[in-house]
Amino acid sequence: MLRAAARALSPGERLLVVDHGSTAPWWWNQDHDASHPTPHEIAADLGLEPDGWSTERAASPRRITIGPKGRTAEVVDHVLLFRRTTG
């Protein structure tokens, strides 16, 4: 899906990808063997660079989230911003 979205963009346009980098303690799937790919692994899997794309941001910001019964936890998000440089 992301590759199809990337192909639809023109030079100068951007593709923003935001996904989970961790699991909150109250999440239903607490598989401790599960891993979340890093932003750089996601970028590599998409295979956009160096084929007419540049990565403007690849980060893993942390934030506090509020869950059931007001319980808080720190979670990680992944934020990737790609810019199409050529057609």
pTM: predicted TM-score of the whole model, two decimal places: 0.80
Dist CA 35 CA 57 (whole Å)? 21
- CATH code, 7: 3.40.50.150
Dist CA 29 CA 41 (whole Å)? 22
Dist CA 3 CA 22 (whole Å)? 23
Provide the number of structural domains found in the chain: 1
Dist CA 57 CA 5 (whole Å)? 18
Which residue range forms the structural domain that includes residue 54?
Answer: 2-84
Q: What is the structure's pLDDT at 14?
A: 96
70 three-class SS? helix
Query: What does the pLDDT profile of the chain (87 residues) look like in tens digits?
Result: 888 898 899 999 999 999 989 888 887 666 777 788 899 898 888 888 777 899 999 999 999 999 999 999 999 999 999 999 987
Q: What is the structure's pLDDT at 23?
A: 85
39 contacts 48 by C-beta, under 8 angstroms: no
